[in-house]
Structure 1
Amino acid sequence: MASTEKSTQRKVALALMAHPDDAEITCAGTLIRLAEQGWETHIATLTGGDCGALTGDAAEVARIRITEGTEAAKLAGATFHCLNEPDGRVVYDRNALQKVIDLFRTIAPTLVITMPMSDYHADHEITGQLGRAASFVFAAPNASTLPLVAGSTIPHLYYCDGHGGTDRLGQKVEPTTRVDITEQLDRKTEMLACHASQREWLRVHNGIDEYLSTMRYYNETRGEECGVPAAEVFIQHTGHAYPTNDLLAELFPLNRSCQSNAIGASTVIGS
């Protein structure tokens, strides 16, 4: 296994998500801030989001949504990737894990944001499991036939917020890390607006019409908890062999004395 020293000489960030638009809802503001500090940034999705539509066959819907994801990523200065697993049917198996390991092998991220281990959507949870597994093993020489990028190591790993700030059972998520995205919120909104195909789907399936204002309201709610206009929150994975210093907090210092307040209604967005 490659060294796990906490080095940030390579500044490469990867957001491993389940569907196109997940990054725009959960962590795009933070990705924008990373890019502004000179980080190479990537957004990858396990699926093309082919079930996130009321009309059109799977291939057509995936094509539209991948195009939307690619355009949104450009607004953050990021590169978009899709691993083409079936939407709504993401499973933790050897084939899916190898795809993620190979992606990590190619990008060699030093900071990874993935989906929560407990969330309303099973695709999100399994994506988080795949992200954790790949982050740990990708730097092992025999984990992939792809060449090993110099400096590959176990990255800083964070899980994004549960949708609506809750886990799969509706219990409030307590973050370890908060990032002020006040100055990035408008561009984050522009990124989410790229996913125009989702408005009708979210209105009918998830019961949400104004998905842009819903996203902004939630980030503002998280921001109120720590005295800033808008924030994204994360839980850092600090298990054995992972870096334990809170890199995001070091890069983007925030008032750490704030106390979380109870969140009101937990609105779920995204698929």
Structure 2
Amino acid sequence: MKKRILCLHAHPDDAELLAGGTLALLAARGHDVVIATMTAGDCGSVEYGPQEIARIRQVEAANAAAIIGAEYQWVGFSDLAIFSDDGSRRRVTAALRRLRPDIVLTASPRDYHCDHEATSVLVTDACFGASAPNYLTQAYDQSPALPAIPHLYYVDPAEGIDREGNTIAPQFLVNVGGVMEPKRKMVEAHESQRNWLRKQHGMDNFVETMETWCRSRGALAGIEFGEGFRQYGGHAYPRTPLLQELLADLVLPVRR
């Protein structure tokens, strides 16, 4: 049965770097895939002002999503201005109701970037609120409440570590070796980020860095390239392994 998958991360290129292969696999199997970002990446440049780089990055994000037949959405936040408060939670809940996912992939609760961690908290809470009709979000969108809490998964943090350098172990891996070419093209579509990542992150080639991360994850299951995930199973959230079932032949446990 066709499912609707939403990957809602903080910035343009986060989804592609950390889950692009899995999204490509899901799209190739006929599922509807939406890539959404909390921000439009308005601080991600040393060459352009915030409005211009945000415009550029939204075009790049839409082009990246189109490579796998996905759509792109911006939720409406700005860089370094994502906070877990009442208005933000309602805005994200409204986005979930508008996009109507069966499965949500989002940022790790522990990561190197404050926007990533705030996104994780907001999306986790919004998944719960999205199916509560008395949680009012009409100020942001008129879409009705979801019929149920969607399945929720956390993608790997950058480098697989938190801001203190502690390892964040995935629960399971997806073998993305067969879709590395579209994943590379998705990352390459974010051309404006080459200079920015070189300056701010010390990443000389972000495609090579992405491949290094995928190899390190793949090594945890004895494969060449992998992407790691953890399913959130808090009280009332779905615990059935829906994502794992959709990609059953490519899902591998982590070697202990």
TM-score, structure 1 normalization: 0.88
* Cα deviation, residue 147, structure 1: 3.3
Between stretches 188-197 and 80-89, larger displacement belongs to: 80-89
Structure-1 separation of matches of 2:252 and 2:93: 34
Answer whether contact 2:110 2:163 (CA < 8 A) is retained.
Answer: yes
Q: Is the aligned partner of 1:259 residue 2:255?
A: yes
Please point out which of 164, 181, 189 is paired with 1:186. Answer: 181
- Secondary structure (helix, strand or coil) at the match of 1:27 reads helix
Q: Is the aligned partner of 1:198 residue 2:182?
A: no
Task: After the TM superposition, list the runs of 4 or more consecutive aligned residues in structure 1 that deviate by more than 4 angstroms.
Answer: 254-258
- Secondary structure (helix, strand or coil) at the match of 1:38 reads coil
* Cα deviation, residue 160, structure 1: 0.6
Question: CA deviation digits over 1:130-170, x for unaligned, max 9?
Answer: 11011111121122332327x63111100110111112211
* 1:168 equivalent in structure 2: 163
Partner letter of residue 133 of structure 2?
P
Please point out which of 85, 88, 92 is paired with 2:80. Answer: 88
Aligned Cα RMSD in Å? 1.6
Structure-2 change in CA distance of 1:10 and 1:199 (3 Å)? same
Please point out which of 218, 222, 225 is paired with 1:223. Answer: 218
* Cα deviation, residue 258, structure 1: 4.9
Structure-2 separation of matches of 1:181 and 1:72: 17
Structure-2 separation of matches of 1:224 and 1:257: 11
Question: CA deviation digits over 1:199-227, x for unaligned, max 9?
Answer: 11111111111110110121012112112
* Cα deviation, residue 94, structure 1: 2.1
Answer whether contact 2:174 2:251 (CA < 8 A) is retained.
Answer: no
Q: Which runs of 5+ in 1 are unaligned?
A: 1-8, 261-271
* 1:17 equivalent in structure 2: 9
Please point out which of 125, 142, 158 is paired with 1:133. Answer: 125
Structure-2 change in CA distance of 1:256 and 1:55 (3 Å)? closer
Identity, % of aligned positions = 38
Structure-1 separation of matches of 2:131 and 2:185: 35
- Secondary structure (helix, strand or coil) at the match of 2:134 reads helix
Q: Is the aligned partner of 1:97 residue 2:89?
A: yes
Q: Is the aligned partner of 1:30 residue 2:26?
A: no
Structure-1 separation of matches of 2:3 and 2:251: 24
Partner letter of residue 21 of structure 1?
D
Q: How many residues align?
A: 251
- Secondary structure (helix, strand or coil) at the match of 1:190 reads helix
TM-score, structure 2 normalization: 0.93
Between stretches 61-70 and 94-103, larger displacement belongs to: 94-103
